[in-house]
Amino acid sequence: MIHQEVSPLVNINNIVHIFMKKVFTYSYILERNFWRISVNTLQCIHIFSSIYFL
């Protein structure tokens, strides 16, 4: 009975842990690449706006 009660909690805990780990990894990658991404985005906007205003 106790084992049945504990097991779902452990599973949920593992899922949450994995999820948080993925979120932190993803945000870390985003933070590292943020400057490059923003520069690329600005260049794309610049190119599109120049095409648009031609």
pLDDT digit string, tens, across residues 4-25: 666 777 888 888 999 999 998 8
Rounded to two decimals, the pTM is 0.41
Structure tokens at 18: 């994995």
Give the per-residue pLDDT at 31: 83
Question: Which band of pLDDT confidence, cut at 50, 70 and 90, is reported for residue 32?
Answer: confident
Question: Average pLDDT for residues 24-46, to the nearest whole number?
Answer: 85
Compute CA distances 18 → 15, 24, 25, 34, whole Å: 5, 10, 11, 24
Question: Structural domain of residue 37, as residue ranges?
Answer: 1-54
| pLDDT at 34 > cutoff 80 | yes
Give the per-residue pLDDT at 6: 64
Number of independent structural domains in the chain? 1
